[in-house]
């Protein structure tokens, strides 16, 4: 009987360590296209956390996709400024654990 209690107690305390932890971060991703819905590879995507002023930069891949994987929650300004097209700008609020999709369309 004491062995069963020991196994139960060990299982009770070890099980939470196997569960995924909430990381406290958010993710922003999207695909940049033009007015004809064509993908825009190599477009620079800038991100600014409005509360801290932290800035992040990436470029879209060959399919126009971009991702900012580990962001603090808060308000962000997203800017895409590709040569020969109008600048696109938007704002988004990220919550803990949230994945937001923003799909800029350049004109």
Identify the segments of the chain with pLDDT beneath 70: 1-23
pTM for the complete prediction?
0.77
- Whether the CB-CB separation of 98 and 27 falls below 8 Å is answered with yes
Q: What is the pLDDT of residues 41-72, one digit of tens each?
A: 999 999 999 999 999 999 999 999 999 999 99
Tell me the two tokens of residue 61.
């891949």
CA atoms within 13 A on the CB side of 68: 26
Give start and end residues of each alpha helix (H) in the chain: 2-18
Q: How many whole angstroms separate alpha carbon 63 and alpha carbon 65?
A: 5
Going 98 to 41 to 61 to 50, the CA torsion angle's sign is negative
């Amino acid at each position: 009987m004491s062995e069963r209690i020991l196994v139960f107690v060990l299982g009770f305390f070890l099980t939470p360590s196997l569960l995924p932890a909430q990381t406290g971060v958010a993710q922003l991703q999207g695909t940049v296209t033009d007015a004809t819905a064509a993908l825009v590879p190599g477009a620079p995507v800038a991100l600014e956390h409005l509360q801290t002023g932290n800035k992040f930069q990436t470029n879209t891949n060959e399919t126009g996709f971009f991702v900012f994987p580990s962001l603090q929650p808060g308000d962000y300004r997203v800017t895409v400024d590709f040569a020969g097209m109008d600048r696109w700008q938007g704002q988004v609020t990220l919550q803990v654990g949230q994945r937001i999709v923003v799909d800029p369309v350049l004109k």
